Amino acid sequence: MGIMERMRLDGKKILVTGGARGIGKSVATAFAEAGADLAIVDLDIEEAKKTAAEIATENGTKAIAIKADVTNPQDVDAMIETFLNEYDRLDVALCNAGICINAPAEEMTYEQWKKVLDINLSGVFLTAQAAGKVMLKQGGGSIINTASMSAHIVNYPQPQCSYNASKAGVIQLTKSLAVEWATRNVRVNSISPGYMGTELTLNSPDLKPLIEQWSDMTPVKRIGKPEELQSICVYLAGDTSSFTTGADFVIDGGFTSI
C-alpha cells in the first residue's frame, strides 16, 4: 500500500469542536475528503447542522451536528455519549473551540480573562479528557489540540494576554497528556496556526488594518488560509503519524522565526 493510500482516513470516526465555521470547518472538510465520518460540535447548532449537511453531501460520508458548551463538563459528557451512540467508537478528536478577547491587561476584567481561559484551555482539557477516556478503553486514538503561534510569541499590536496565556497552556497540556498516555496508544499533538484568513477575520472591518500589518510582519507577506492547516491535521489523525506524539506544529508563514 502506497503512502497516499495509507494517508486515507476511511472508517475513522472524528469529533471536531468549534467545527461549524473557520478552521474547524476547513479541517473537518479535509477529514471527510479523506474518508472519515464526523461530528460537528458547536454552540451554534444551526450553523453546525448546515456545515455537517454540506460536508456529508459533498463527500459521501456521514456527518452529524452536536450542540455543546465545552466549558461545561456535563455538556462534554453528553457530547461524547451522543457521538458514541451514533458511531460506537471515537478515533480522533480535534479540540478546536476557542475565542479571543482583545483588551489591555490593566483594563481586562476577570470575567473576560476567565471566559478566554475557560473556553481555550479548560474546554480543551475537558474535551481531551473525555475523548481520552474513550480512546484508552478502546485501545488507541489521536487527539489534536488547536493552540496558536501566540503560545510562542506575543502578538502585536493587539493586546491579548489572556489568549496568549491560554494557548501556551494548551501546548503544555498537550505534552503532558501525550506523556501520560504514550504507552497506551493514545497520541496527543497540537497545531499552532499563525494569522489565518477565516471568513470572520476577512469580513471584520475592525481587523482590516490589522490584516495589512500582520501580513507585513509575516515573512511570506500574507496571512494564512484555513486550508493550509488541512494536511497536517489529516496526517495527525491517521495511522502514518503513529510515532508522533507530544509535538506542536507551527504553521505561521515564518512569523515565529523572526
Active site residues: 148, 163, 167
Q: Are 98 and 149 in contact (CB under 8 A)?
A: no
Helix (H) or strand (E) holding 33: helix 22-33
Greatest Cα pair distance in the chain: 57
Give residue for cell 493514545.
Answer: 186
SS3 for 180-219 is HHHHHCEEEEEEEECCECCHHHHCCCCCHHHHHHHHHHCC
Q: Please tell me the distance from the alpha carbon of residue 243 to that of residue 125, in angstroms, as a whole number.
A: 22
CA angle (135 as vertex; 131, 136 as ends), nearest 5: 115
- Alpha-carbon dihedral of residues 78, 80, 83, 87, nearest 10 degrees? -140
Going by C-beta distance under 8 Å and a sequence separation of 6 or more, which residues neighbour residue 253?
194, 195, 218, 219, 220, 222, 223, 224
Where do runs of H (alpha helix) occur along 70-160? 73-87, 110-117, 123-138
Per-residue b/e over 128-155, b at no fewer than 16 CB within 10 Å? bebbbebbeeeeebbbbbbbbbbbbbeb
